[in-house]
Each structure stands twice: as C-alpha cells, then as structure tokens.
Amino acid sequence: MNGTAQDYIPIIFTFVVAAGFVVTTLVATHKLGPIRKTKKKLETFECGIESEGNARVPFSVKYFLVAILFVLFDVEVIFMYPWAVNFRDPDGAGPLHGLGALGLFEMLTFIAFLLIGFYYILRKGALKWED
C-alpha cells in the first residue's frame, strides 16, 4: 500500500472544490442578498409564537450529564453488535469457533469495563435527581 503523491490528487481536488463551493456560496449570498435590518427581522423567531421572556433559561447540569451518559453507553453497546454477529461462524460449527476463546475473553473484558464505569457513575450519584 505504498501510494505516491499522484494517488492523492483526486482527494485533494475534491476538498478544494468543496471548500471553493462553500466559500463562493457564503460570499455570494452576503454580497448579492438584500440587507434589511429591521427590529422585526432581528427578533428571535419561535415557530410563529410570540417570544416571552429570556431564552437563556438555565438547565440543570444533571440533565446534560444524563444525556451524555446515555450517548456514551449507547455507543459502547453499539460496539457489541459486530461481536454478536461474528460470534458464530457461518457453518454453525460451535459457539466459540467464529471468534474463538480470545474473542469471548475480549468481549467479557469490554463488558467488565462497561460495568465498572456504570458502577462508578452510580456510586458518584450521577443519575440521582434529588439534590
């Protein structure tokens, strides 16, 4: 897989064209578009409903923490899918013939780290809503 610089020309060309398109579009819309700054135009738009109060209402950090933990554990569980698919070989010769004992050990290690992390966030009280 020893590539020459000439092999990367199509990739570089694609990046240059994409960047050129973005820059051209941004410049053209700012130069050609109408500029009308009115009070009504600069107001916040909330789906046709009149805006009330300040839009910067503080949210609890717990909300964001739970959301981040959900994404974290969801992505980790996604890593289990390819293992489950490749656990058995296509001819069905046995449960450990697809990835072997090493594959089973690696997945058990992965699950152990996942459970250790889950236990840690439970001990820290990250999922408790009461203060």
Model pLDDT, residue 1: 55
Residue 129: which pLDDT band, with cuts at 50, 70 and 90? confident
CA distance 99 to 49: 57
Collapsing DSSP states into helix, strand and coil, what is residue 42?
Answer: coil
Model pLDDT, residue 105: 87
CA distance 50 to 44: 9
- Is residue 17 one of the residues assigned to a domain? no
- Is residue 91 one of the residues assigned to a domain? yes
% helix, strand, coil for the chain, step of 5:
60, 0, 40
Kindly report the CA angle at 40 between 39 and 41, in degrees rounded to 5? 90
CA distance 26 to 20: 10
Q: What pTM, to 2 d.p., does this model score?
A: 0.46
CA distance 86 to 81: 9
- Is residue 42 one of the residues assigned to a domain? no
- Is residue 19 one of the residues assigned to a domain? no
CA distance 86 to 107: 12
Domain hosting residue 79, numbered range: 61-123
Domain count, the chain: 1
- Is residue 24 one of the residues assigned to a domain? no
- Is residue 73 one of the residues assigned to a domain? yes
Model pLDDT, residue 94: 55
- Is residue 74 one of the residues assigned to a domain? yes
- Is residue 22 one of the residues assigned to a domain? no
Residue 29 pLDDT more than 60?
A: yes
